[in-house]
Structure 1
Amino acid sequence: MTDNKALPKISVIIVTLNVADTLQACLDSIYAQLYPNIEIVVMDAVSTDGTVDILKANDDKITLWRSEKDGGIYDAMNKALDYTTGEWVYFLGADDVLFADYSKLAYQLSDANTIYYANVLLRDKKYRGKVTSYQHAKGTICHQAMIYPKHVFDKYRFNTKYRLSADHVLNMQCWKDKSIHFKYVDLIIANFNHTGASSKPDKVFIADQAGLIRENHGFIPWLRFVIRQYRNRKKVIPESYN
Structure 2
Amino acid sequence: MPLSPKKNTWPKISIVTPSYNQGDFIEETILSVLNQNYPNLEYIIIDGGSTDQTIEIIKKYESKLTYWVSESDNGQGNAINKGFRKSTGDLFGWINSDDYYTPNSFLKLAEAFNPNIGFYYGDSLEINQGHTSYTDAKFVADSFLRFGGLIASHSAFWSKTIHQEIWEEMKCNIDGEFWIRLLKGKKKRYIRYPLGVYRHHTESKSSNDKWEKAWRMDDMLIEKRHGPPPQARSYKRVKYILFTRLYEFIQKFWKRPSPWNK
Give the TM-score, by structure 1 length: 0.81
Query: 2-side partners of 1:207 and 1:135: how far apart?
Result: 21
Equivalent pair of 2:14/2:41 in contact (CA under 8 Å): yes
Q: Equivalent residue for 1:239?
A: none
Equivalent pair of 1:93/1:144 in contact (CA under 8 Å): yes
Query: 1-side partners of 2:56 and 2:142: how far apart?
Result: 44
Q: Equivalent residue for 2:190?
A: 184
Which residue type is aligned with residue 119 of structure 1?
D
Query: 1-side partners of 2:6 and 2:58: how far apart?
Result: 21
Query: 1-side partners of 2:138 and 2:237: how far apart?
Result: 26
Q: How many residues align?
A: 221
Alignment of 1:117-156 (within 5 A): 117-123=121-127, 124-131=132-139, 135-137=143-145, 138-153=148-163, 156=164
Which residue type is aligned with residue 122 of structure 1?
E
CA deviation vs aligned residue, 1:34-53 (integer Å, no higher than 9, x gap): 43211110000011112111
User: Any runs of at least 4 consecutive aligned residues in structure 1 with deviations exceeding 6 A, and if so which?
Assistant: 229-232
Which residue type is aligned with residue 184 of structure 1?
Y
Aligned-pair CA distance for 1:197: 2.7
Alignment of 1:168-207 (within 5 A): 168-176=176-184, 178=185, 180-195=186-201, 196-199=204-207, 200-201=211-212, 202-207=215-220
Query: 2-side partners of 1:12 and 1:128: how far apart?
Result: 23
Larger deviation, residues 200-209 vs 118-127: 200-209
Equivalent pair of 1:10/1:89 in contact (CA under 8 Å): yes
Overall identity of the aligned pairs, in %: 22
Equivalent pair of 2:141/2:149 in contact (CA under 8 Å): no
Alignment of 1:1-242 (within 5 A): 4-102=7-105, 103-123=107-127, 124-131=132-139, 135-137=143-145, 138-153=148-163, 156-176=164-184, 178=185, 180-195=186-201, 196-199=204-207, 200-201=211-212, 202-210=215-223, 222-225=229-232, 228=235
Change (3 A) 1:197 1:133: closer
Query: 2-side partners of 1:225 and 1:31: how far apart?
Result: 43
Give the 3-state SS of the residue equivalent to 1:60 in structure 2: helix
**Unaligned runs of at least 5 residues, structure 2:** 240-262
Change (3 A) 1:128 1:205: farther
Change (3 A) 1:55 1:8: same
Change (3 A) 1:133 1:15: closer
Equivalent pair of 1:121/1:192 in contact (CA under 8 Å): yes
**Unaligned runs of at least 5 residues, structure 1:** 216-221, 233-242
Give the 3-state SS of the residue equivalent to 2:137 in structure 1: coil
Query: 2-side partners of 1:41 and 1:30: how far apart?
Result: 10
Give the 3-state SS of the residue equivalent to 2:32 in structure 1: helix
Change (3 A) 1:63 1:113: same
Give the 3-state SS of the residue equivalent to 1:107 in structure 2: helix
Change (3 A) 1:212 1:128: farther
CA deviation vs aligned residue, 1:203-229 (integer Å, no higher than 9, x gap): 2222245566657xxxxxx43345716
CA deviation vs aligned residue, 1:40-83 (integer Å, no higher than 9, x gap): 10000011112111122211101100111111001110111111
